[in-house]
Amino acid sequence: MLLVGTETSDDAAVYQISEELAVIQTVDFFTPVADDPYLFGQIAAANALSDVYAMGGEPKLALNLAAFPNCLDIEILGEILRGGADKVMEAGAVLAGGHTISDEEPKYGLCVTGFVHPQKMWKNYGAEPGDVLILTKPLGSGILSTAVKGELAAEKEIQGAVKAMTTLNKYAAELARGFEVHSCTDVTGFGLAGHAMEMAKGSRITFVIHTEKIPVLSGAQEYAEMGLIPAGAYRNREYLEEDIESRICGWREDLLFDPQTSGGLLLAVTPEDAGKLMEKLSGLELPSAVIGEVTEKQKNFLVFI
């Protein structure tokens, strides 16, 4: 029986096999977001695996999806696949083959199958008034990528962004599994605003986001203030704007629409659990933060303050 399909724009499809077992299925691939092929492989794999974690599940099986130009050195493809394989292994899943086609621009990603208990699945709706919102990675990877393309980003800033993008959401998800998670998604191409909007709309409530509490990648403020905003951020803003009440402006607002690659988890948990979960998350390498709360439905689904 299909538990999660396309209707709720959730992170992955979920199909129930038995009372105790449901399979999660997801696929994601894209063009290089890093110059180093090994790092690109890691980022693409971490991003694809993330949708399984965002459903509360564990990845079990992965297949490579790759596109590669004939004119490029085949060793580059080898490095991309090695990066992906390392992340799949770190996830505790099995990489069992895949498919590569010839194409003008390299592309890489994974098709991932995961397991979850049908009753313990995290949906992208179900947040309740009073819930606290936790984000488990800093924002700004789209802005940083734009700065890298403009050859403006400093080495340390690039490393910070790469660290965030290659880190599996596995670690935050494992800690959150001990608590009552009302709703969860991962923050990717639609930015924090877009993914928060899906959760808020699906739950028919309002998310109040305290924007100054959001962790930010080093350099993102500076480059956003310089106007290094990716095109996707403008599209996200245009698409979402009318459902948002924003009391802020400038770079902090741009950051909310910034498309993320392999971004963190956005979790809605009870206020009782939030403190305990934050205590655990503070032991991880990347900064997590309480970034807002859920209220009864107001005029708009999202409020930025």
| Residues lying near Co ion in the complex (CB under 5 A) | 11, 28, 51, 186
What are the structure tokens assigned to 171, written together? 């670690």
Strand 289-295, strand 13-16: pairing: unpaired
In angstroms, what is the minimal distance from the CB of 249 to Co ion? 28
15 or 218: CB nearest Co ion: 15
54 or 224: CB nearest Co ion: 54
Residues linked to residue 114 through DSSP beta bridges, in sequence order: 24, 59
28 or 157: CB nearest Co ion: 28
In angstroms, what is the minimal distance from the CB of 265 to Co ion? 9
46 or 224: CB nearest Co ion: 46
In angstroms, what is the minimal distance from the CB of 271 to Co ion? 25
- What is the rounded CA–CA span in Å between residue 21 and residue 23? 7
Residue nearest to Co ion (CB): 11
Best CA proximity match to 184, nearest among 120, 248, 247: 120
51 or 58: CB nearest Co ion: 51
Find all residues with CB under 8 Å of 305, minimum gap 6, and list them.
208, 209, 210, 211, 247, 248
171 or 218: CB nearest Co ion: 171
DSSP conformation letters of 160-215: HHHHHHHS-THHHHHHHTTS-EEEEEE--TTHHHHHHHHHHHHHTSEEEE-GGGS-
In angstroms, what is the minimal distance from the CB of 109 to Co ion? 9
Best CA proximity match to 115, nearest among 262, 28, 186, 15: 15
The one-character DSSP state at 21 is -
In angstroms, what is the minimal distance from the CB of 17 to Co ion? 22
Find all residues with CB under 8 Å of 175, minimum gap 6, and list them.
277, 280, 281, 284
In angstroms, what is the minimal distance from the CB of 204 to Co ion? 20
